[in-house]
Amino acid sequence: MKHVIILQGDKAWLDVGSEAWRLPVPIVKTSEGWRFDMAAGEEEILTRAIGRNELSAIAAMHAYVDAQQDYYHLNHRWAQKIISSEGKKDGLYWPTSPGEAPSPLGPAFSPTVPGSGYHGYRFRIIAGRDDQSVALLAWPIAWGETGVMSFMIDQQDRVYQANLGEESAAKAQEITRFTPDADAGWQVAEP
């Protein structure tokens, strides 16, 4: 197995494998020699997990836009909920029987434990810029632990992000319409 040590002053990073994956725990030089900095490693692991969750939330939001398009073509209206009412097809996801056409959105948005979210995020359909469209809002289940940024996506597949802070969950409940106001911290999320 290949590995490379990247030395940066009194800190070193270990890149391993054919893709040079960087070990999240840095090695630091102390008066007693070199040692792994577990506290810095813990912080880096959390940062990476948050980054993965945020990227997964954005990918899920793009899947939502596709699912809304499929739902609209079937029903000539936008879905107002993610999970259908029991026994109905009034949302983007509903359970299917063998041989039945799948729902527009897969079961990943239907957690086995209600309210548990998806990759550290909760999602809710909100009104679009006008009364004829819809958008999707996503916010971290536990700000600073499962995610930092909140996201909105419109029917044109444009993602906006904002750091709503520790009160993300409460602030998300106040958002009922897609209005990514720059004064409120919303900005286009770069792909």
pLDDT in tens, 136-187: 999 999 999 999 999 999 999 999 999 999 999 999 999 999 999 888 899 9
Q: What is the pLDDT of residue 131?
A: 81
| pTM, 2 dp | 0.86
**Residue 31: helix, strand or coil by DSSP?**
coil
How far does CA 79 lie from the centroid of its chain?
Answer: 21
Quickly tell me which residue has 């029991």 as its tokens: 86
List Cβ neighbours of 3 (8 Å cut-off, separation of 6 or more).
14, 15, 16, 17
